[in-house]
Amino acid sequence: MKLGVNIDHVATLRQARYRSKQVVMPWAEPDILEAARAVKRGGAHGLTAHLREDRRHIQDQDVWVLRRRGGLPLNLEMAASPEILKIALKVCPDEVCIVPERREEVTTEGGLDVLRGGRQLLKSVEALRKRGILVSLFIAPDLRQIRAASRSGAEFIELHTGAFAEARDAAGRRKELARLKRGVELAISLGLRVNAGHGINYSNIAWIRKLPALETLNIGHSIVCRALTFGLERAVRDMLGRMKGA
């Protein structure tokens, strides 16, 4: 099981001071590239960044810098919009994860509705694959959505683990974990590769480790929070330590 570190919240902290700037100034702090280098030193296997349509954290310039100088494979999260698709096809990240996006949400709150994704979603998947980019769809562990994802042309799905992470007690957590397990098993049987992410932290990782056949966990908020106390490199190492044995 690999670890992809989402560094959106590093950019969130930077934009709290420099949000009016379209171009990231060299002195803007914290530095996304330095964060990426610390993530690499910590042993992570990849970087994840979400270029949102409203540019609330990651900026266009960040994507280019991470792709060219980040030192790790780049997973670009994006909505299936013509504007962001055009950028992705130019940057050519290693992987793209297509996610739902609403301007009013603080972070991505749910899975993609592949059943109703329509022509633009399929067009995005096809265009990205033609450029040699691996494509993942960020979806809830809903069996109908997984079947739809298998027909979309995407190689991967990333299962939204938010419902599991937000379960109020052990019984609720076990229920959601079983739901995730059924989703993984169906996806594998359909020829899909499976990642997971959203709300995974240093406590609930012990549960997530039990899921079979996951390739990558994409984790951001929890690692960046720990980094405020212990530093980013150690925070990444600590998470990898808790992933061992999966």
Q: Which residues are catalytic?
A: 50, 77, 198
How many other C-beta atoms can be found within 10 angstroms of the C-beta atom of residue 162?
A: 19
Contacts of 161 (CB under 8 A, 6+ apart): 180, 196, 197, 198, 199, 200, 208
Distance CA 193, CA 188 (A): 6
Are the beta carbons of 3 and 219 closer than 8 angstroms? yes
Q: What is d(CA 173, CA 171) in angstroms, rounded to the nearest whole number?
A: 5
Q: Which two tokens stand for residue 120?
A: 């633009």
Write out the two tokens for 21: 């700037």
Give me Rg for the CA atoms of the chain: 17
Q: Do strands 156-160 and 46-50 pair parallel, antiparallel, or not at all (unpaired)? A: unpaired
> Which of 167, 144, 173, 146 has its CA nearest to residue 157?
146
